[in-house]
Amino acid sequence: MLFSPDIAKLLLRLQVGILMLFHGVHKITHGIEGVKSLVVNAGLPEFISYGVFFGEIVMPILIILGLYARVASLVLALNMVMAIYLAYGSSLFELTKFGGLAMELPLIFLMSSIAIFLLGSGKYAVNAK
């Protein structure tokens, strides 16, 4: 069947994994000074900022492959909760000049990660049953 839930799960995994991976690659090539300052300004130890590599490189690769995608998507969701807290904590419902939420992108990643966690990776995955 062309329109199967497993194709939808694959597309969701690819969308979340590939788009988040771009953020991780950017941090590898341009550094994480911005993340470090957000973490330190929140009163947290600086070493926590290095978790961004885990959340934005390793987890997206696992999600793309469908290898422990539920666990990886849960970790990515927690990464997004932390990103929302650090970057938008004081202005959660602030709107942009175009009317969208300022935290729209991390919120989309958060909700999509939760969807992957709830749905699983489907049959087009490395560890499909």
pTM comes to 0.92
10-residue averages of pLDDT along the chain (129 residues): 87 98 97 96 95 96 97 98 92 89 95 98 91
Residue spans of the domains in the chain: they are 5-119
Please name the helix (run of DSSP H) or strand (run of DSSP E) that holds residue 83, with its range, or none: helix 69-88
Q: Give the N- to C-terminal CA distance of the chain in Å, as an integer.
A: 19
- Backbone dihedral angles phi then psi of residue 16, each to the nearest 5 degrees: -65, -50
